[in-house]
Chains A and B, each alone.
Chain A
């Protein structure tokens, strides 16, 4: 425990010392005293946050987004906490529940397991971008009609996943749909209706 503590204190402070030093270097023209005061006031944190972020350009629902983010930010948290596209849900943050499913270049991915920076130059579609204006996507219509949800929290992930399930050619039978939709958990237990909704869209033959 002691060793661990020391290590953590060490790594925790070293970056700050480095930043303080570098801010000192860049600010050599200034008198050291105000710089130190600036550091005490946390100005070095502002410098740190500028260094720590990287640019990201990504198309989200057809809109180009240019942001600066830390490399550790997931696509899910970028969507929810920074871009306020909260239709994409966080259910586990570990890729175990599927609530965060979005499309990246047309393929379904768990956005909680996707670092946002890896989507540089790519196209992301979330539930907010699925409908054509006020006209719902056939899968959204089918979920409504078949009551393929209850609380609605897993629903955006289910719908995004369901669209790809058909696109991938994995919706030929109800059992196949069950298999290929098993990465999306619905705790309210709407599976039976979700399968009906997907089969209905598949059989309807509309482009998804």
Chain B
């Protein structure tokens, strides 16, 4: 049983709280006696702290403590966790303030805690340190020989002719670069922590997973999980950086324990570049072979990405290449290079966005080489079934999506020859690309409480970083029960609620939504047993019965009905290959004299099953495209490798797109239920909104200028020098 009708566009159920300033993010909770923590960070990139002088800071007004590696309270769980010797990186574990070793630039060397923010900031400026500097390596290009296969991703190969990409009649060999990109959610990261006694910890956190934060803190302090309260109802963006509970968050909790006071850390924007992950610098080589008439014969795709010296971060940069096209011979390799940098973390689209830039650029290049329209070339090599797993797709409406998108953007009306179209002095280009991401579904649990007044409260320990989780969940509950939207409340962001996974990998609606669907269905069963039924938006006596909801509850001596259901995918997940797809079309203007690229118009099409919440889903798509514009044109974390330090670690110099960079974005949904993913027939959307978009822009720039830019971002200097 599923939902068979189309959903109505609904305003966000938490929208009023957000437009009135009432929505409270982690740093905004009033905790009596709260103290303020400011971090002092390392000025070198590798070596040791020789001396650290905290005396002046300690004597500054209002200072409660200065913690360094010399006096940092022990974090019991950290001491026990093993070493890295089995990893390719092989370095020692990073233990913040656990020793005098410096493993990356910007690593915290002191925590200063004072009674006001200003006093903590001032005192932090009084901490001085001397260092024993060691040689550092932060440049991937100069350390390629250290590339190693990560334990979590082996090489992939199919086909009998491994050399087909080299021997084909038409060959393409190209290298692509994706720079460091930084999530930079608008809300600064941090934590607010306090203890009751020595074993009960409460935190207000910026996290994409309240349960995972609870687990991390419980294991760090070796206390029972139920003694860790994690609150995170509103999160000011994450894009992946909230998928870990970072060492400085654990350290702040340790400081709060030692001081027996609530401690709040709000990181600086500069620290957001070094301490909460980033999209790793990745170089990719693609070698592709095809016949003269445009049949792919072989693809070789190798990606090499940076990681920290103390962790083996791995992501799916080559995943798409394995199955996207019906190519008989495909080999993919993923390698990591340990550098003296903080550890990366998945950033929206994650590795797939990196890989799609290379693959979808290469596909476009090859289409031009064999004189085919890029869409026709994709259709010629269309994979009807998943060639990697040899399974049918649970659903795949890409062909319809290509058609809808090309009609909308006017693809056929363009002159396909490169550098052939103009608008005044601007060159005009059209480009397109495909995006894809696994339609994942994890185990999730939801509790439903039906009150005597007919209101329904749903609770699940999931998170919402902005996509509109509560809105989607209320919509699902509304569709199952028929209760009006305003009578349903979905509560999240509290680790005490029934467990769910983190908000990541575009899996929340599929996972938590299924639990909502199941628990609402179970509630219907309970009502039936009690002689009641959902009828036209209220709970009424079932036919032939006369007792109301209130009557039944008081007769059963209950204050409400409640039921909790756990939900996860079944056998169908093994039978089918489940993916969500997107097609992006971009129309660009390139200024020949200055090299400036402007995205003039965007059409983006999502084939992501049934759309549960059309309004928030459309916002997801335009948001992903906006992130994609940044990836394509503006975003790059620049490190001065002489010092191993960012030179643009702020929002004035690291250019995330602003309003003037973003045109009107048209979104189209195929909106056809997938029969196998989950009861709603939905598939994820957060990643596909961004995946591939940068290639659409690069392909449009090629169409406008005849210049192929293979290194992101496509800044004016690259356009002019290509």
Using a Cβ–Cβ cut-off of 8 Å, how many residues does chain B contribute to the interface with A?
73
Tell which of B22, B122, B128, B660 touches A87, judged by Cβ atoms closer than 8 Å.
B22
Other A-B contacts than A91-B187, A179-B659, A191-B659, 5 sampled, CB-CB below 8 A, are A12-B56, A150-B468, A185-B186, A192-B663, A192-B664
Task: Say whether B18 faces chain A, with CB atoms less than 8 Å apart.
Answer: yes
Q: Assess the B59–A147 pair: CB atoms within 8 A.
A: no
Task: Say whether B416 faces chain A, with CB atoms less than 8 Å apart.
Answer: no
Chain B hits for A145, CB < 8 A: 11
CA separation between A12 and B61, bound complex, in Å?
10
Scan residues 365-419 of chain B and give those whose CB is less than 8 A from a CB of chain A. Answer: none
Task: Say whether B60 faces chain A, with CB atoms less than 8 Å apart.
Answer: yes
Assess A179 versus B660: contact at CB under 8 Å? Given A97-B186, A147-B11, A150-B466. Answer: yes
With both chains docked as a complex, state the minimum distance between the C-beta of A147 and any C-beta of chain B, in angstroms. 5
Q: Assess the B465–A189 pair: CB atoms within 8 A.
A: no
Closest to A92 in B: B269
Tell which of A52, A140, A178 touches B19, judged by Cβ atoms closer than 8 Å.
A140
Q: Assess the A87–B186 pair: CB atoms within 8 A.
A: no
Scan residues 152-173 of chain A and give those whose CB is less than 8 A from a CB of chain B. Answer: 152-156, 159
Q: Assess the B465–A94 pair: CB atoms within 8 A.
A: no
Selecting from A28-36, A124-132, A200-208, the interface stretch reads A124-132
Tell which of A126, A130, A189 touches B622, judged by Cβ atoms closer than 8 Å.
A189
Q: Assess the B187–A191 pair: CB atoms within 8 A.
A: no
Q: Assess the A70–B236 pair: CB atoms within 8 A.
A: no
Which size bracket describes the interface of A in this complex?
35 or more
Q: Assess the A9–B56 pair: CB atoms within 8 A.
A: yes
With both chains docked as a complex, state the minimum distance between the C-beta of A178 and any C-beta of chain B, in angstroms. 4
Q: Assess the B624–A151 pair: CB atoms within 8 A.
A: no
Assess A147 versus B616: contact at CB under 8 Å? Given A94-B650, A127-B21, A189-B622. Answer: yes
Task: Say whether B571 faces chain A, with CB atoms less than 8 Å apart.
Answer: no
Chain A hits for B530, CB < 8 A: none
What are 29 A-B pairs at a CB distance below 8 A? A1-B130, A81-B116, A85-B21, A86-B25, A91-B187, A91-B188, A97-B186, A126-B21, A127-B19, A147-B615, A149-B19, A150-B237, A150-B467, A150-B468, A150-B619, A151-B237, A152-B19, A153-B186, A177-B659, A182-B659, A185-B186, A186-B186, A187-B184, A187-B237, A188-B186, A190-B619, A192-B626, A192-B665, A193-B622
Task: Say whether B234 faces chain A, with CB atoms less than 8 Å apart.
Answer: yes
CA separation between A100 and B331, bound complex, in Å?
50
Q: Assess the B656–A178 pair: CB atoms within 8 A.
A: no
Task: Say whether B16 faces chain A, with CB atoms less than 8 Å apart.
Answer: yes
Q: Assess the A96–B468 pair: CB atoms within 8 A.
A: no
Q: Assess the A152–B23 pair: CB atoms within 8 A.
A: yes
Q: Assess the A91–B186 pair: CB atoms within 8 A.
A: yes
Task: Say whether A103 faces chain B, with CB atoms less than 8 Å apart.
Answer: no
CA separation between A197 and B23, bound complex, in Å?
20
Q: What is the 8 Å Cβ interface bit string for chain A, positions 1-20, against chain B (1 contact, 0 not)?
A: 10011001100110010000
Q: Assess the B624–A189 pair: CB atoms within 8 A.
A: yes
Task: Say whether B118 faces chain A, with CB atoms less than 8 Å apart.
Answer: yes
CA separation between A155 and B19, bound complex, in Å?
6
Scan residues 128-143 of chain A and give those whose CB is less than 8 A from a CB of chain B. Answer: 128, 130-131, 136, 140, 143
With both chains docked as a complex, state the minimum distance between the C-beta of A106 and any C-beta of chain B, in angstroms. 18
Closest to B651 in A: A96
Chain A hits for B87, CB < 8 A: none
Task: Say whether B126 faces chain A, with CB atoms less than 8 Å apart.
Answer: yes
With both chains docked as a complex, state the minimum distance between the C-beta of A197 and any C-beta of chain B, in angstroms. 10
Assess A153 versus B236: contact at CB under 8 Å? Given A92-B650, A187-B186, A189-B623. Answer: yes
Chain A hits for B186, CB < 8 A: 89, 91, 97, 99, 151, 153-154, 185-188
Closest to B665 in A: A192
Task: Say whether A37 faces chain B, with CB atoms less than 8 Å apart.
Answer: no
Q: Assess the A86–B21 pair: CB atoms within 8 A.
A: yes
Task: Say whether B223 faces chain A, with CB atoms less than 8 Å apart.
Answer: no
Chain B hits for A96, CB < 8 A: 269, 650-652
Binding site for A on B (CB under 8 A): 11-12, 14-25, 27-28, 30, 53, 55-56, 59-62, 116-118, 122, 126, 128, 130, 183-188, 234-239, 266, 268-269, 465-468, 615-616, 618-620, 622-627, 650-652, 656-660, 662-665
CA separation between A76 and B268, bound complex, in Å?
15
With both chains docked as a complex, state the minimum distance between the C-beta of A46 and any C-beta of chain B, in angstroms. 9
Task: Say whether A93 faces chain B, with CB atoms less than 8 Å apart.
Answer: yes
Assess A93 versus B268: contact at CB under 8 Å? Given A84-B30, A156-B21, A185-B656. Answer: yes
CA separation between A31 and B548, bound complex, in Å?
80
Q: Assess the B118–A73 pair: CB atoms within 8 A.
A: yes
Task: Say whether A122 faces chain B, with CB atoms less than 8 Å apart.
Answer: no
Chain A hits for B237, CB < 8 A: 150-151, 153, 187-188
CA separation between A81 and B192, bound complex, in Å?
13
Tell which of A179, A185, A188, A191 touches B466, judged by Cβ atoms closer than 8 Å.
A188
CA separation between A70 and B188, bound complex, in Å?
24
Chain A hits for B27, CB < 8 A: 80, 86, 90
CA separation between A139 and B571, bound complex, in Å?
49
Task: Name which of B234, B239, B651, B657 has the most chain A CB atoms within 10 A of its CB.
Answer: B651
Q: Assess the B128–A4 pair: CB atoms within 8 A.
A: yes
Task: Name which of B15, B22, B468 has the most chain A CB atoms within 10 A of its CB.
Answer: B15
Assess A182 versus B658: contact at CB under 8 Å? Given A81-B116, A96-B651, A192-B664. Answer: yes
Chain B hits for A140, CB < 8 A: 19-20
Chain B hits for A190, CB < 8 A: 619, 622-623, 626
Q: Assess the B659–A8 pair: CB atoms within 8 A.
A: no
With both chains docked as a complex, state the minimum distance between the C-beta of B193 and any C-beta of chain A, in angstroms. 17
CA separation between A155 and B17, bound complex, in Å?
11
Chain B hits for A128, CB < 8 A: 20-22
Q: Assess the B651–A185 pair: CB atoms within 8 A.
A: yes
Closest to B20 in A: A131
CA separation between A81 and B239, bound complex, in Å?
27
Q: Assess the A5–B128 pair: CB atoms within 8 A.
A: yes
CA separation between A150 and B14, bound complex, in Å?
10
Tell which of B11, B24, B62, B126 touches A8, judged by Cβ atoms closer than 8 Å.
B126
